[in-house]
């Protein structure tokens, strides 16, 4: 009996130790990030979301990475005899996409191993922590739409401006079909490349369409001129230059050059972060252009702000669970009480980052153009 008790206690002890050890162990299953430059082995990500860096700078005195645990100042790398600097984040990162950069002897540079993405008003290194639900934005063997880069004439800016246009699979074959359009804006520090590059908007749409979960529609992504103010001064941002370009120049160009449904019931506008602020401001200034609105981590609407509320078919507001989930839920409830159809969405275990916005697009798209 005593032996049995000892055996049991030993087993219990072992399992406690084992669990404890496991919870503190960084698993050795690191793989190159899917956003590395071709052939680059580092940075690497493990199944828990830790990131391992390897940077060549044999004569440097200090190399840091801005990626790490939020607020704790990133990851300090250590120099090895081979001239490389090595280091691993102190903890796991949130699932999804993150921007980062290196600080090498006080200067800010990108990681030569990683691809670059436009954020923070510069091209920064990007990394992808595989998400448990990454299948919805994966490149799959389904029919693919196209992403076109257009140059549209802008009288107000006296030049041609770029935009990206997603046309769904079948667009070029179905010559008699007209499609509704979502105008989809990036956030502060980003530009017209964000939604197709780090947002994977085209793959999200291809997959939703293949599963029959959304109507096919066109997405137009242009530069929101959001970077003409500094981050802390966003209240000083003037919407007019962008509003003129969007409403008076881009929309007429798109309606002429693509087979669109050229009326407000065939138009939606959405944006992430400051792009949500733009969506909200334009909906207030010009209530007759769009009938569907999406604010992804981009604030909320109050019922009295919607001047044209009988015409508004949907207000979608989202937030990462680490942002302000209760605020979007409360705001949606108030809109619904006021007779305006509204949906709140909360992305679990994410903050103000692209996985929140990829998921927001996945949730928003099926709700569009159904009326």
x/- site string to its own copies, residues 22 to 41, per CB under 8 A? Answer: ---------------xxx--
Count, residues near its own copies per rule CB under 8 A: 48
Q: Is 146 among the residues that bind its own copies (CB under 8 A)? A: yes
Interface with its own copies includes 172 (CB under 8 A)? yes
> Taking the CB of residue 191, how many other CB atoms lie within 10 A of it?
21
To its own copies, the closest distance from the beta carbon of 96 in angstroms equals 22
Distance (Å, whole) CA 204 – CA 193 = 16
Per the rule left: phi > 0, alpha: psi between -120 and 50, beta: everything else, 121 is: left
Indicate the DSSP class of residue 31: E
Options 25, 81, 173, 304; binder of its own copies; rule CB under 8 A: 173
Which residue bears the tokens 């530009």? 191
232 touching its own copies, by CB under 8 A: no
- Tell me the two tokens of residue 219: 């997405």
99 part of the interface to its own copies, by CB under 8 A: no
Interface pick for its own copies out of 14, 58, 70, 78 (rule CB under 8 A): 58
Distance CA 268, CA 289 (A): 9
Strands 159-167 and 292-296: unpaired
User: Least distance to its own copies from the beta carbon of 137, Å?
Assistant: 14
Do 254 and 260 touch, CB atoms closer than 8 A? Answer: yes
Of residues 57 and 365, the one with the C-beta less far from its own copies:
57
- The number of beta carbons lying within 10 Å of the beta carbon of residue 253 is 19
Nearer residue to its own copies within complex by CB, 151 or 333: 151
- Asked if 79 is part of the footprint of its own copies (rule: CB under 8 A), the reply reads no
Residue nearer to its own copies on the CB measure, 25 or 141: 141
From 57-65, 69-77, 240-248, 302-310, span contacting its own copies (CB under 8 A):
57-65
Instruction: Choose between 35 and 361: whose C-beta lies nearer to its own copies.
Output: 35
Q: For residues 220-245, b (16+ Cβ closer than 10 Å) or e, as one string? A: bbbbbbbbeeeeeeeeebebeebbeb
Do the bridges between strand 107-109 and strand 116-119 make them parallel or antiparallel, or are there none, so unpaired? Answer: unpaired
Told to check if 71 binds its own copies by CB under 8 A, we report: no
* Residue 349 sits in the site that holds its own copies (CB under 8 A): no
CA dihedral 259, 260, 263, 268 (to 10 degrees): -170
Give the residues lining the site for its own copies (CB under 8 A).
Answer: 37-39, 55-62, 83, 102, 104-110, 112, 115-116, 121-123, 139, 141, 144, 146-153, 159-160, 165, 172-173, 175, 191, 196, 227, 257-258
């Amino acid at each position: 009996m005593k032996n049995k008790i000892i055996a049991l206690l030993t087993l219990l002890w072992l399992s406690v130790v084992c669990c404890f050890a496991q919870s503190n162990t960084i698993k050795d299953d690191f793989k190159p990030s899917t956003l590395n430059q071709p052939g680059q082995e580092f940075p690497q990500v493990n199944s828990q979301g830790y990131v391992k860096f390897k940077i060549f700078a044999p004569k440097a005195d200090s190399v840091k990475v801005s990626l790490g645990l939020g607020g704790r100042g990133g990851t300090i790398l250590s120099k090895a005899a081979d001239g490389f600097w090595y280091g691993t984040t102190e903890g796991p990162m949130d699932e999804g996409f993150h921007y980062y950069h290196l600080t090498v002897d006080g200067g800010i540079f990108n990681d030569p191993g990683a691809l670059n993405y436009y954020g923070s008003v510069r091209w920064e290194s990007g990394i992808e922590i595989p998400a448990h639900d990454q299948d919805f934005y994966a490149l799959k063997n389904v029919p693919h739409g196209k992403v076109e880069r257009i140059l549209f004439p802008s009288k107000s800016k006296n030049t041609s401006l770029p935009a990206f246009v997603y046309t769904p699979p079948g667009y070029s074959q179905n010559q008699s079909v007209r499609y509704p359009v979502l105008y989809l804006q990036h956030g502060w520090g980003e530009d017209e490349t964000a939604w197709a590059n780090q947002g994977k908007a085209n793959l999200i749409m291809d997959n939703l369409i293949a599963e029959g979960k959304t109507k096919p529609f066109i997405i137009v992504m242009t530069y929101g001129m959001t970077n003409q103010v500094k981050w802390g001064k966003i209240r000083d941002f003037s919407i007019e230059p962008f509003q003129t370009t969007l409403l008076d120049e881009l929309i007429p160009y798109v309606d002429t050059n693509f087979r669109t449904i050229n009326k407000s019931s065939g138009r939606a506008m959405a944006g992430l972060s400051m792009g949500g602020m733009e969506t909200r401001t334009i909906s207030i200034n010009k209530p007759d252009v769009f009938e569907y609105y999406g604010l992804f981590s981009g604030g909320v609407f109050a019922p009295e702000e919607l001047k044209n509320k009988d015409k508004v078919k949907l207000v979608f507001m989202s937030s990462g669970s680490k942002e302000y989930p209760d605020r979007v839920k409360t705001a949606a409830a108030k809109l619904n009480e006021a007779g305006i159809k509204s949906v709140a969405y909360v992305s679990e275990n994410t903050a103000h980052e692209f996985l929140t916005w990829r998921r927001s697009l996945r949730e928003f798209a099926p709700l569009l153009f159904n009326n």
